[in-house]
Amino acid sequence: MDVIFQTWPWYVSGFLIGMVMLALIYFGKNFGMSTNLQSLCSMTGLGKRIAYFDFDWKANRWNFVVVIGAMVGGFVAMHFMSDPSNVNINPKAIAQLAQMGIDAPNGKLMPTALFGEQIWQSPKSILILLGGGILIGFGTRYAGGCTSGHAISGLSNLQLPSLKAVIGFFIGGLIMAHFLFPLIFKS
């Protein structure tokens, strides 16, 4: 049983994620999480004002069911399959984070400094999460896909555009993690 509670190894996890994508292809659909953002906006009737949201979102209802399943899966894994040994990251990362005032994992998935309940009282923390979200939403829709649509599905189908998008993801991620983090998280 221990195996289930510990951090799942990359080769098991990667294989299962690949199988999730293939299962959706077999069901006649495709693996893409960020499409749901567009569907959610369309649901509110934005299509009357903005052409991008003027489409039949009901055709993507199956993808909402995938999302609901994923949320329940996250709940079950978090509450019934976790262990204090989890999130054992590189000690160098822990030391760097400490300098920026970000707490070590100690079994937590998310740092309290960024995702703890106290952030509701901190306009700066709220702005960080909101700003990150805006960059994600804008970027993924502009690029036409995120980690699932481009990095996993697109690369699996040997798509050059997806490789370009993934290179973009990494350029952006490296700029943020190496140059902007020290500016944003000054302790």
Partner 1 sequence: MKVLKFFLVGFLFGIVLTKSEAVSWYRIYEMFQFQSFHMYGIIGVAVATGILGIQIIKRKNIKDIKGFPIEIKDKENSNARYFIGGISFGLGWALVGSCPGPIFILIGAGFLPVIIVLIGALIGTIIYGALKSKLPH
Asked whether position 46 contacts partner 1 by CB under 8 A, the answer is: yes
Say which residues have a Cβ less than 8 Å from residue 48's Cβ, sequence separation at least 6. Answer: 54
Q: How far is the CB of 114 from partner 1 (least distance, A)?
A: 7
Task: Work out whether 186 is an interface residue with partner 1 (CB under 8 A).
Answer: no
| By the rule CB under 8 A, 55 interacts with partner 1 | no
Q: How far is the CB of 51 from partner 1 (least distance, A)?
A: 8
- CA-to-CA distance for 66 and 16, rounded, in angstroms? 15
Structure tokens at 107: 């079994």
Query: How far apart are the C-alpha atoms of 98 and 89, rounded to whole Å?
Result: 13
By CB under 8 A, is residue 24 in contact with partner 1?
A: yes
Residues that bind partner 1 (rule: CB under 8 A) add up to a total of 125
**Binding test (CB under 8 A) with partner 1, winner from 45, 56, 176, 182:** 176
| Residue 43 contacts partner 1 per CB under 8 A | no
138 is a contact residue toward partner 1 (CB under 8 A): yes
Q: Which parts of 67-96 interact with partner 1 (CB under 8 A)? A: 67-79, 81, 86-87, 89-90, 92-93, 96
Binders in 91-120 for partner 1, by CB under 8 A: 92-93, 96-97, 105, 109-111, 114-117, 119-120
Would you count residue 143 as binding partner 1 (CB under 8 A)? yes
